[in-house]
Structure 1
């Protein structure tokens, strides 16, 4: 016998309430016609289920959907004939007789009796090929693919089933969110961006606020930077335009007077460097401005992209007590800096050698990936050098100087911890010969030997670039998988929040019974089913899998039946997720209409 249970209920009113008018609660909502059209359903004593009552037997035909969106129930069966089924199991009109919604009222029965009826109802559902025990839904036999499978908005598939036990495999809740290592990294970045501003600093510098010193800002701490040659200090600040964080570098006004000509030169350099703004190994240059908020003296400020948690190569490997980089780390640094230099030279720009000093290169750690380098002062020396546009020969010479500066930085890092001036003769014996040849070729570039350009350097790094590319692709795949988790979690959170705006709302427009009537009561029971589950002993059940799976089915509107039980275990309702989705969409439309009504009335008054 094939049976299917179709819910036709759009309202459920507890028996002790007074009739609240047409089904659907609020004005304009769809209503039931036929047996459930005029007043809320109030069961007669004959419908009260006793301990000896037989379980509910579902009908065999779907309800009729009216053009207006309501659901029409069939004519009531003759007295004494369950479901209107006559001889031969057929209705009086020759077809299967539809049933009213399976609502069971048992206010005085113990939970065990109601659980027995629920078990019997679900046994019938399972035999008919629908319900939570048959994932395919109505009319789909076990083992077949439901026509609804794969629908929705990219739902993550359910957990795999164990072939031997026939039970769902246990998946930890942590598998539904990003890894703890990535979470810790992101939280550390947010903490660095949201650090409290220093009280002794001005509230604003131009359009930037919440300044926090990234270097020692005590009096006398500023010293001429080996790379730039002028005293400077760096601060973290937040932009008032978009809220993003930047690194603000203040040049000492006694060393660099903020003349209009100098400011114009910086802004012209900034426009030239926009050609490589998206290069991943460069800290993007945002702005150059003049401000007198600090110490009352006008000074030149340079804004670059802020890298949370980053330190310079000098602090990471050359400071006292720092750990020297290994060979693999040196190759990783070399590949990244070569990629940045290739992009800079390809745009007709140079770093003036000083831009590749260890004190001007930032390194940040990334969970599951290689350390990330960024050149921090790119473009700064273009205006400070005050050199007119160089010819082609001068540009080649300056670019070869950049290659030599890169070689000197690599040699300095390779000799870190030796306590002597960097030299090829002092390289540790563990340094591979190919790395020694590359460093020697870079150092010889300034005299016209070694590598003539970054293309030749890229050829020498081909094998190591392949490895770096593979590592980057693997990390990209891992980040995409983590993003997919959070994308699904965000969708489920929005769905749950929207559901809470209906199920948790006590009234609407002065109607205090709004949540207890019509579609809203069905959604209220579903909301309780999601968040207030208990086991047979009445203890809370914290199963994230049920929550995620049920929300996914609601979002897709699958025709699978679900048993909803009231909190006092006095009422039971069997509906499909498709019915719940239709009710949900109608309630959301009703809420949006209520939220937009005041604005429409105000606009009408203004226009009048």
Structure 2
């Protein structure tokens, strides 16, 4: 199946159908709101919808020569569509799939190491050490197992799934990202990556490496293609634990690997600052470029990371050097948390309205209840039916339907609160009208719903 055919198999959500915000209204009174004040921002809603859509994607396993089931996982979906598989990182070709676990129903990411035959069962025990680590900047590993489901000896690692995430390589060094940011691939010129972004990366990676090293482990994956950007500037170290199993040595060289983590950390930051992966090949030129475009503190952290390994060189020293920047990162995180909490509050009351609408659905137009075919058209239920018409079925002077979301929200909120305000309800034949309060209508709904809920 070609990439074009692959894309045609899916019907994309129509994000452009979301209503755009209304023009700014400057003369609103303090108690007035626009319709968009009741819901989260469109771009945040669209982002969450895209992530949800990505999580639910499926393919026909036969079209991609995938097994229907793999251990306790099913519904495999290939996340990496590139056909050429590099063996540079792991020494073996690797494949990435999204899958659903039949045990807990959650979605996980499977990384398959193709053609690896496990010869030492003790190597599997290394995963237990990684499973104990829970860190905001590390993609958590769940388990590892061997399989022949792909027709060969494969080793599969199970990680948490982060939809729509991309690697730092794709974000900063791919041809599309370089063109979008006007970055020449040779590096050294073009748009400078903001220092605040790089400090955020440094803070997050230092925190993750500190946790890993404190657990007696080494990341061994500090490189652009194995660090995920999961949300704006939020990054996570991916593929932890794989190299420990592929090159199992019983932990004899752990100090050496921890020192390598720090060197690779420095090389990664230099590459990001210079917009080029080849910048590490000419360090004097790269450091000169950094000196001209970034602060002395930034350069000093990089120089420390690139120093030769010594018994006293550790990530603790890095954390001490970036102390003031950590405070800025904490401040930014709290601000973003306030933003998300504010957006969440926009949807806070919507759950109440949904429950109210569900009660309407149970009661209105019910064909029969308690051996009474006309139950929904008599007594208190008739009042509820008229109120539904008042909220949803009004027409203007020309007979056109009144589609006014503000009217609907106002009525439902007053009903849920049970206010004493009175309204006039008119029958469909206009032969009768009733003057009732929202409180009385609410009591009618609660009474009718209790009747439906009771068990004789």
Alignment TM class, shorter chain as reference = 0.7 to 0.9
Could you list the runs of 4 or more consecutive aligned residues of structure 1 that deviate by over 6 angstroms after TM superposition? Answer: 162-168
In the alignment, which of 491, 516, 519 is matched to residue 352 of structure 2?
Answer: 491
2:203 pairs with 1:335: yes
Match of 1:132 in 2: none
* Structure with larger RCO (C-alpha < 8 A, sep 6+): 1
Match of 1:511 in 2: 372
Structure 1: state its 5+ residue gaps.
1-161, 598-608
Alignment of 1:61-76 (within 5 A): none
User: What's the secondary structure of 1:355's corresponding residue?
Assistant: coil
Q: For 2:169 and 2:29, how far apart are their aligned partners in 1?
A: 59
**Structure 1 pair 283/163, CA: closer, same or farther in 2 (3 Å)?**
closer
Displacement of 1:537: 4.8
- Kindly name which structure, 1 or 2, has the bigger radius of gyration based on alpha carbons: 1
Alignment: residue pair count: 412
Match of 2:422 in 1: 561
Alignment of 1:424-443 (within 5 A): 424-427=283-286, 428=289, 429-443=292-306
Q: For 1:447 and 1:416, how far apart are their aligned partners in 2?
A: 29
RMSD: 2.7
TM-score normalised by the chain length of structure 2: 0.82
2:310 pairs with 1:447: yes
User: What's the secondary structure of 2:127's corresponding residue?
Assistant: helix
User: What's the secondary structure of 1:356's corresponding residue?
Assistant: coil
In the alignment, which of 93, 101, 106 is matched to residue 239 of structure 1?
Answer: 101
Task: Note if contact 2:131-2:142 (Cα within 8 Å) is conserved in structure 1.
Answer: no
Q: For 2:333 and 2:264, how far apart are their aligned partners in 1?
A: 26
Task: Note if contact 2:173-2:277 (Cα within 8 Å) is conserved in structure 1.
Answer: no
**Structure 1 pair 538/321, CA: closer, same or farther in 2 (3 Å)?**
closer
Q: C-alpha deviations, 1:220-260, integer Å up to 9, x for none?
A: x333132x23322212222223332222111122xx2034x
Q: C-alpha deviations, 1:555-580, integer Å up to 9, x for none?
A: 23233323222222222112222222
Alignment of 1:83-232 (within 5 A): 169=32, 171-197=33-59, 199-200=63-64, 201-216=66-81, 218=83, 221-226=84-89, 228-232=90-94
Match of 1:129 in 2: none
**Structure 1 pair 341/445, CA: closer, same or farther in 2 (3 Å)?**
farther
Q: C-alpha deviations, 1:13-51, integer Å up to 9, x for none?
A: xxxxxxxxxxxxxxxxxxxxxxxxxxxxxxxxxxxxxxx
Match of 1:6 in 2: none
Match of 2:319 in 1: 458
**Structure 1 pair 572/163, CA: closer, same or farther in 2 (3 Å)?**
farther
TM-score normalised by the chain length of structure 1: 0.63
Q: For 2:278 and 2:209, how far apart are their aligned partners in 1?
A: 29
Task: Note if contact 1:407-1:439 (Cα within 8 Å) is conserved in structure 2.
Answer: yes
Which range moves more in the overlay, 204-213 or 380-389?
380-389
Which range moves more in the overlay, 425-434 or 414-423?
414-423
Match of 1:271 in 2: 128
Match of 1:402 in 2: 261
Task: Note if contact 2:384-2:445 (Cα within 8 Å) is conserved in structure 1.
Answer: yes
Displacement of 1:167: 10
**Structure 1 pair 543/423, CA: closer, same or farther in 2 (3 Å)?**
same
Task: Note if contact 2:74-2:99 (Cα within 8 Å) is conserved in structure 1.
Answer: yes
Alignment of 1:404-423 (within 5 A): 404-417=263-276, 421-423=280-282
Q: C-alpha deviations, 1:370-396, integer Å up to 9, x for none?
A: x22111111222222312245xxx655
User: What's the secondary structure of 1:223's corresponding residue?
Assistant: coil
Q: C-alpha deviations, 1:486-515, integer Å up to 9, x for none?
A: 232122112112122112323224422111
Q: C-alpha deviations, 1:253-282, integer Å up to 9, x for none?
A: 2xx2034x43x533x2332223322x1111
| Between structures 1 and 2, the one with greater helix share | 2
